Structure formats: C-alpha cells, structure tokens
Amino acid sequence: MPRTTLRLLPAAAAVLLLLPACGSDDAGTSDEGAAPSGGTTAAAAWEPVTIESALGPAVIEEAPERVVTWGWGTTDAAIALGVVPVAIPTQTYGGDEEGVLPWVRTALDEAGAEVPTLLTEGEEPPYEEILAADPDVILAQYSGLTQEQFDRLEAIAPVVAYPDQPWSTPWRDVVTTAGEALGREAEAEQVLADIDEQVSAAAAEHPEFEGSTIAAVYDLDAFYVYLPADPRVGFLEDLGFETAPSVTDLDTGESTFFFTLSPERTDELTADVLLNYADTPEAQDTFLAKPSTQALPQYAGDGIALVTGQSLVSSVSPPTALSATYGLDEIVETLAAAVAGEGYGAGATTVS
C-alpha cells in the first residue's frame, strides 16, 4: 500500500532542488526576507536554534536561506511563513500532473514564485537530489524518517524531524516548529490564528454542529474508523462536533489513530453523523451500495456526509498551514446536510 494511502489511514500517521525557486540563487528566503506580516529578515537578529526530535537535535547556527522540505505539511508551513523552499517533495496523491498540491500552487502563484525543484517521491529520501539542492536546513517534522535516513540527511544539513513518533506530529506543531526553525515564530502564530478564525466563523454559522456526535471513516480495503487522536477528527471537533461514544467503545486498540471495524458490526457505530472519505465519486457510490453501509444507523436517516476527491481528502489528512481552509466550505456544506437529515443514505444513494 502506498505511503500516501497509509498516511490517509493514519497507520503511518495514517490518507502525505536542483534549481532555486523564483529563479534566483537565494530562493528559500528572499533578499528582502519580509514575512507576510511585514517582519524583518530572520538573519537580522538570528540566534542559534536547537530543535530536539526523536531522532536527534537540529542545530541551526545561521538563518536558513535554502530550505528543503520532506514529508507532509512542511512545504505548506514554510510557504505560509513567507519562505519558498528550494526543493519540495512530489505529491502524487492529491497533486496535479506535476505533483504539486493545488493550495501549494495557488500560494506560489500569489507569491509570484516558480515551483521549486520537485524531489522524487518514495519511502527513501532522494539523497543526491537533496544534496544538489544545497540546503541550510531540512524540514521533515511530519514524516516517516528512520534513524538511518535521518543520519544520512544530517550529513547534508540540520534535519528537523518529528518529536515523538513518525507521522504523528500535530499539524499545528508542524507550523510552529517551522516558525522556530526559520526564525518566524510570530508569523507562525499569526498563520494559526487566521486559520482558527476562519474555522470558528464556519462553526458559528452552524450552531447545530455543537454537540452533534460524529464518526469519521474511510472504507477502502477495510472499514477504518478514525479515533480522536487523528487530526481529521480534531478538525471536526474544531467545528463543534463531538466524537461519538461508539467510536471509542468499539476501538480495538490496533492503533492510536484508527481501528478497523468488521462489516458485520457497522450497525453498532451509532452517531448523529457519519463522514466517509473517498478518492472518487465512484468509490463513494460503491461505499453507499454496500450492505455494511446500509446497516449503518445513519443510512436510514440520510445522515451520511461525504468528502470526495484526492485533493479534498488530502486537505484534511491532516490539515496544513495552507490546506486547512482549502475545502472548508464544501466540507461544512456536506456536514450541514447530514446533520439536517438531508445528506446521503436511503434517500440519496448515488454520488456520480
């Protein structure tokens, strides 16, 4: 199973160069270095920074000017803070024909920046490509780096890795850690405040979400149910929902982020709303047609919400500094319909 799918399932968190950006030799941090909030360059008052991680510390002696990102969300964090990396990972899942995520491309276009060099996607970092990018720092705080991989990358530049387990860094921490590594901590706090403001405004427009129970699932090769530790669930709770007690009651303990539920027991997954993620409308149709789906308590009452499409699924898997509000309106719309009993189920059984 590809890592991107694993990320979406959070089994790994769980469904995730050679040329400088902007056509200049110091892309990564521009000559002006102005952050979106109008701050001065990080280099102007830089003090050495040490960022601890589960794999070892990153000691950043000088203000980074050439930034390479690896994993998920780190590219977004850097760009949101006003730093265009010199190299970023290709994202096949949810990305365009080049492997660039839509919100990343939009942010680059708005900044007047070219797409950075795209690193070859894979389980193993492309060491030669990263070496050729000549980075000052490698941001990989939401990734699956092994100790061996970390050690090899550290020979190239300081590596900011995850604080605890691979693919498990809370998405907000990805942003604040990037701010610390790039000397843009105030900007990081502002980015998060702006996101929280938009999410809070969406929640305020739908007071019916407050206290409604929800179960988030992904019906793929098995029926995966997301637990409260998963960032998808946290996003729903930010909108006012509560994780249905049945979710934790049925938890099998196979992961801290999700568990698999037998098709014979889906009728036990009680909640006001059930939200299913799928890559395509056809996959959603298949989901709705299954006997295990039609046994769900939400099916009879048209209480199923659907998040469909790789880009939309990616935007909250987990959210990032650029993607958290990318599909907010669409997700809120499908949730509102489900809460009102006008979502998918017995009365609306097809998507495509």
Between CA 72 and CA 16 the distance in angstroms is 5
Phi, psi of 89 (to 5 degrees): -75, 145
Report how far Cα 178 is from the mean position of its chain's Cα atoms. 15
Between CA 178 and CA 181 the distance in angstroms is 5
Q: What is the pLDDT of residue 6?
A: 41
Tens-digit pLDDT profile for residues 18-57? 222 233 333 343 333 333 333 334 566 899 999 999 999 9
Between CA 256 and CA 250 the distance in angstroms is 13
Report how far apart the first and last C-alpha atoms of the chain are (Å, whole number): 26
Q: Indicate the number of domains in the chain.
A: 2
Between CA 229 and CA 235 the distance in angstroms is 11
What is the rounded (10 degree) CA torsion for 171, 174, 176, 178? -160
Q: Are residues 103 and 236 in the same domain?
A: no
Q: Are residues 12 and 75 in the same domain?
A: yes
Tens-digit pLDDT profile for residues 326-350? 999 999 999 999 999 999 999 987 8
Whether residue 149 is contained in a domain is answered as yes
Query: Residue 139's domain spans which residues?
Result: 3-196
What is the average per-residue pLDDT within 156-185? 96
Tens-digit pLDDT profile for residues 253-286? 998 889 999 999 999 999 999 999 999 999 999 9
Q: Are residues 100 and 218 in the same domain?
A: no
Residue 17 reports pLDDT greater than 70: no
Token pair of 346 as six digits: 């017995």
> What is this structure's pTM?
0.85
Q: Are residues 77 and 104 in the same domain?
A: yes
Token pair of 198 as six digits: 């938009």
- Dump the DSSP string for 20-43: -GGGSTTTTS-SS---TT----GG
Whether residue 187 is contained in a domain is answered as yes
Last residue of a domain, one of 154, 175, 196: 196
Whether residue 152 is contained in a domain is answered as yes
Write the CATH number for 89.
Answer: 3.40.50.1980
